[in-house]
Amino acid sequence: MDLAQLFDPAIFPVLAADGLTNGAVYALLSLALVLVFAVTRVIFVAQGEFVSFGALTLASLQLGKVPGTLWLVLALLAISAVVEGISQLRQGQGRRAGMVLLSALGISAGLWALLTWLAPLKLALPLQVLLTLLLVVPLGPMTYRLTFMPLREASTLVLLIAAVSLHLILSGLGLAFFGAEGSRTPAFAEGQITLGQVQLSAQSLVTILVSAVLMLALYFFFDRTLAGKALRATAVNRLGARLSGISPVRAGYVSFTLAAAIGALSGLLIGPSTPLSYDSGFLIGLKGFVGAIVGGLVSYPVAALGALLVGLLESFASFSFSAWKEVIVFGLILPVLLWRSLTTRHAEEEE
């Protein structure tokens, strides 16, 4: 193996650019993971499924087909509405229960009509992207409602087992909806751009730019808006937040919505360069995880940097030892954990 090749001026920039492109997406995912963990204590292993659902939903729309995601959304909507309706009835809120059921019915009918009308028309890419988000983003709050909200007093361990179960459910459904074949989604920009020595595909540039803009937007949201501060407050002190009138359940909904949106967008960003199948989102999500773990699941900037590092490492590893790429990337977690275990004071936990 000639490692020296890696540093060949013709190859190094290409690998670095590749690594940065994927790393930017992993960084986005790692931010969502840290957010969800901080607010709800859920280690959201199923985040990656939103990535595949995003890309594969768009791929279906490209073919003029109604994406299977629609049926999942309708099913989850029905179950959520029934569960929510029952819980309202138990609190003696008969009218509210009726409202929940009726609005769920209305939304379902509307979504169904919209998709069966628009999907065959093969609309322009930006409109298809909007439709994709319209289908994938609601999966976040609905999975929260059905899986994690009833378990919100449970230990981190129980929440993790639930998250892993959810991953299996969603990836199994992904297989049923989209088949085992991978699909590539269209690029948002065509062509190559030359920046000094480096040749960069326009799509890479778009990916990096969009990721950067989203990260800035997240920063602005957390730092400047009351809703963003409320999320941070819930993460810092749950009881304090409740006593200030901030509902942790609502914070849970918001963070899962953000996680689904970030996941779906990541899928759309990465889809043009890597063909995605129903199970590849999981691996992508886990690479975000390695980044999040570098940040100890608490620090946003360290998580993002860690994820960028994962992207770069993966890119160089796939050039030199392509068969061992995953082993190297996931093996990285061990020295990272060793380093964390030696540097952080181990905290007492009560389960």
Based on CB atoms, which residue is closest to another protein, 91 or 197? 91
Q: At closest approach, how far in Å is the CB of 117 from another protein? A: 26
Contacting range for another protein; rule: CB under 8 A; set: 18-26, 58-66, 147-155, 194-202:
147-155
Binding to another protein by residue 233, rule CB under 8 A? yes
Binding to another protein by residue 1, rule CB under 8 A? no
Binding to another protein by residue 79, rule CB under 8 A? no
The residue from 147, 201, 277, 318 that contacts another protein (CB under 8 A) is: 147
Contacting range for another protein; rule: CB under 8 A; set: 124-132, 158-166, 260-268, 308-316:
158-166
Based on CB atoms, which residue is closest to another protein, 197 or 322? 322
Binding to another protein by residue 236, rule CB under 8 A? yes
- Cα 162 to Cα 146: distance, rounded to the nearest angstrom: 11
Q: What residue type is assigned to position 268 of the chain?
A: L
Closest to 263 in 3D by CA, of 235, 282, 291: 282
Binding to another protein by residue 71, rule CB under 8 A? no
- Cα 212 to Cα 206: distance, rounded to the nearest angstrom: 10
Per the listing, tokens 């963990």 go with 37
Binding to another protein by residue 350, rule CB under 8 A? yes
Enter the tokens of residue 20: 């940065």
Q: At closest approach, how far in Å is the CB of 195 from another protein? A: 34
Q: What angle do CA 184, 190, 193 make, to 5 degrees?
A: 125
Binding to another protein by residue 237, rule CB under 8 A? yes
Tell me how far CA of residue 297 lies from CA of 20, 33, 290, 337, in angstroms: 21, 8, 10, 12
* DSSP assignments along 48-97, one per residue: HHHHHHHHHHHHHHHTTPPPTHHHHHHHHHHHHHHHHHHHHHHTT-HHHH
Binding mask 9-38 for another protein (x = CB under 8 A): ------------------------------
The residue from 246, 258, 303, 313 that contacts another protein (CB under 8 A) is: 246
Enter the tokens of residue 271: 């889809």
Based on CB atoms, which residue is closest to another protein, 3 or 337? 337
How many helices (H) and strands (E) the chain has is answered by 15, 2
Which residues have CB under 8 Å from 44's CB, separation 6+? 32, 33, 36, 37, 163, 259
Enter the tokens of residue 106: 């209305």
Binding to another protein by residue 5, rule CB under 8 A? no
Per the listing, tokens 């389960």 go with 351
Binding to another protein by residue 289, rule CB under 8 A? yes
Enter the tokens of residue 177: 């909806």
Binding to another protein by residue 153, rule CB under 8 A? no
Binding to another protein by residue 327, rule CB under 8 A? yes
Where does this chain bind another protein (CB under 8 A)?
Answer: 43, 45, 91-92, 147, 150-151, 154, 156-158, 160-162, 164-173, 175-176, 180, 226, 229-230, 232-233, 236-237, 239-247, 283, 286, 289-290, 293, 297, 323-324, 326-327, 330-331, 333-334, 337-338, 340-341, 344, 346-351
